[in-house]
Structure 1
Amino acid sequence: MKAAVWYGKKDIRVEERFIAQLGQNDVKINVAWAGICGSDLHEYSHGPIQIPVDKEDPLTGNQAPLTMGHEFAGIVEEVGENVTKYKKGDRVTVNPGVTYGVKDDSIDIYDGYAAIGLHTDGGFAETVVVNEKHVYNLPHSLTLEDGALIEPMAVGVQAIKEANFRIGQTVAIVGAGPIGLLTIVAAKAAGASKIIAMDLSDTRLEKAKEVGATHVINSGNLDPVSEVKKIEPDGVDASFEVAGVEPTFKQAVQMTKARGTVTVISIFAKPISFNPMSLTTSGVKITSTFAYEPITFQQTIDMMANGQLKPQGIVTGRIELDDIVEAGFEALSNDKSQAKILVGISKEK
């Protein structure tokens, strides 16, 4: 089968790979659509960050070179002899999170963490084999393209949960990349009264308005903290740091009201420094999220199926697997008008 394989920084190769052997509890999926995530882009531009290189990952037992892709959906081709919930022809999506699975749902994502497509072979391939516990049926109202958006949408939903957000509160989204845009979608669905988005790209800010932002700020032209305070003099109830650099982290703290919450969603490529007194003197709380609880993944499917969550507007491109490096990773690295690029593999709907 054809697959996009990570060998190292700036080294992803589309090549022929063997299909993994089907185990008794496994599901073989013919991938229809897969999304390129910011985590994938970090691995391409700066990696290895999460991908195991020097030794096998303790949860998956795998190491590079690995087939990337953790946002994907497709059609079941075959199931293992112990699998009863799924059958050939089912339309499914995949929760890529791999944990030890011995903690309760609320802290499962911190019970060790790996991901299909980062720590073991993933969905940038014609076919993928995963354990049935990662597989979720797609409702009839969702297309397979929609199925490739569920995983990143779940990140935004979990972020809103982590902030203990309440209907009518105000939010600031610092960084209008794909996860920032999806956090806007989630905040709108949660009943935010004001959603202030900031980014360096006017194109991304236009996209932010399309998906639900009530105010946008180009933080390259204007001081974002001052501009937020013009809209909300005391600061916002909740800010979401989705850029992953020191200045934006500090700005998120400064634009949050006393006893408000900053939720860190982004992956930081390097350490940052800040003065903890900025928290001590304001009562601002910091929390974070890396992925999502299993229940959040199912809730995201349900809310997308009934129209409460509409992430489809963040898609800015659809490409072929053969073109994933130039038209995918390089385009996302160099063209800030791009947000979410989907890779069409079988392209079934």
Structure 2
Amino acid sequence: MKAVRYYGKEDLRVEDIPEMEMRADAIKIAPKFVGLCGSDLHLYYDGGEGNGGNSATTPHPLSGETLPVTFGHEFSGVVEEIGADVTTDIKVGDSVVVEPLMVCGECPACKAGDYNICEKMGFIGINGRGGGMSEHLVVEPRWVHPVGDLPLDQAALIEPLSVAYHAVRNTGAQAGQTAVVGGAGPIGLLVATVLKAEGLKVIVSELSEARKQKALDAGVDVVVDPSKEDLATRVREETNGVGADVAFDAAGVGVVVHQLLASLKAKGLLEIVAIHVRPLEIDVTGELTFSEKSVQASLGYANDHAKVIELVRTKGIDLSQFITGKIAPEDIVDKGFKQLHDDAEHQVKILVQM
């Protein structure tokens, strides 16, 4: 079968490889659309080690695989076969998405149900066990989620939307509250989308003109350019002088974190969703203690996919607005990664169509 294989930094190859062996306890899927995300971008341009990927010599502790691996962890597809030992309501021909995790099931986090922070966690499509950029894939039933009549291109965004949903759920944000989102990249836009669907007033802080427009098109209430006006001042104006209840850092930039903290009300909460590549210094006394503000973080998702699919269906969320390109596997570098790297402000989600 045809598959996109990741060999390391700036080395992706479309190859013919053997199909994964079907098992009696598994489900076989034909992937249809695969989203490219920031993790893929980092792996391509920076290499695997230190970015969550495999190395060429040290196998991942759960998959047992070294490079190369089949790429693609944000994907939708169609069920081709169901193993004889699998008990499920899913049927052959159903449209599904895959929660692309591999977890140990034995560490304290897994036993507590927080498998997204498993001590050995890995990703299908990054660390082995196949990937979405292939013609066929075999996965454990627990990770397969039916999407009904949701179009398969939109369904490929359920995975990153689950990241956003998990972050919002982690804060306990409620309808009627005000939230500020720092950064209108892919995750920031999806966080804002979840917040709006949950009934919050949403203020987005963003510098890029193109991304500001995408945020407005997505239905946020207010967009602020922090290079032209003070974010905290504007947030107070929008909240009768109180400040925001919650804020989300989707930028991964230190100055944004400080702006968001200043925008929060007393006892407000900042959720870190972005990955920070540099250490961040916070004035704990001045920025947190004197106003009893809190900072916490979220990673990925756990037990969120089914809820996200239901949210999209019941709230009529249009995920098509975030799809900015569809490409063939052979074009993944020139029309995929290079576009995301060189024209980031105009791109949200580029899909590889299998």
TM-score by length of 2: 0.90
Aligned partner of 2:222 in structure 1 is 215
Distance 1:64 1:136 in 2: 28
- Show the 5 A alignment for 1:66-145: 66-85=69-88, 86-102=90-106, 103=110, 106-112=113-119, 113-120=121-128, 121-140=130-149, 142-145=150-153
Equivalent pair of 1:105/1:293 in contact (CA under 8 Å): no
Number of residue-to-residue matches in the alignment: 342
- 1:35 equivalent in alignment to 2:44: no
Aligned residue identity for 2:308: T
Distance 2:233 2:8 in 1: 41
Name structure 2 gaps, 5 residues minimum. none
3-state DSSP class of the match of 1:30?
strand
Residue 243 (structure 2) aligned to one of 235, 241, 260: 235
Residue 275 (structure 2) aligned to one of 267, 272, 286: 267
Aligned partner of 1:19 in structure 2 is 19
Equivalent pair of 2:272/2:295 in contact (CA under 8 Å): yes
Distance 1:225 1:47 in 2: 38
Distance 1:337 1:9 in 2: 25
1:157 is displaced (CA, Å) by: 1.2
Equivalent pair of 2:145/2:305 in contact (CA under 8 Å): no
Equivalent pair of 1:241/1:249 in contact (CA under 8 Å): yes
1:222 is displaced (CA, Å) by: 4.0
Equivalent pair of 1:236/1:260 in contact (CA under 8 Å): yes
1:59 is displaced (CA, Å) by: 2.3
Residue 62 (structure 1) aligned to one of 61, 65, 68: 65
Aligned residue identity for 1:169: Q
Equivalent pair of 2:182/2:247 in contact (CA under 8 Å): yes
- Larger relative CO (CA 8 A, sep 6+): 1 or 2? 1
Q: Percent identity?
A: 35
Task: Select between 235-244 and 114-123 the one with higher mean Cα deviation.
Answer: 114-123
Name structure 1 gaps, 5 residues minimum. none
- 1:297 equivalent in alignment to 2:299: no
Distance 2:167 2:280 in 1: 21
1:273 is displaced (CA, Å) by: 2.8
CA deviations 1:18-52 (Å, max 9, x no partner) are 22222221222111111112222222233420012
CA deviations 1:254-306 (Å, max 9, x no partner) are 22221111111112233333332222222111121111122x21111112222
Equivalent pair of 2:197/2:315 in contact (CA under 8 Å): no
TM-score by length of 1: 0.91
3-state DSSP class of the match of 2:84?
coil
CA deviations 1:114-141 (Å, max 9, x no partner) are 211122231122222212221112213x
Equivalent pair of 2:54/2:127 in contact (CA under 8 Å): yes
- 1:276 equivalent in alignment to 2:280: no
Equivalent pair of 2:94/2:148 in contact (CA under 8 Å): no
Residue 205 (structure 2) aligned to one of 178, 192, 198: 198
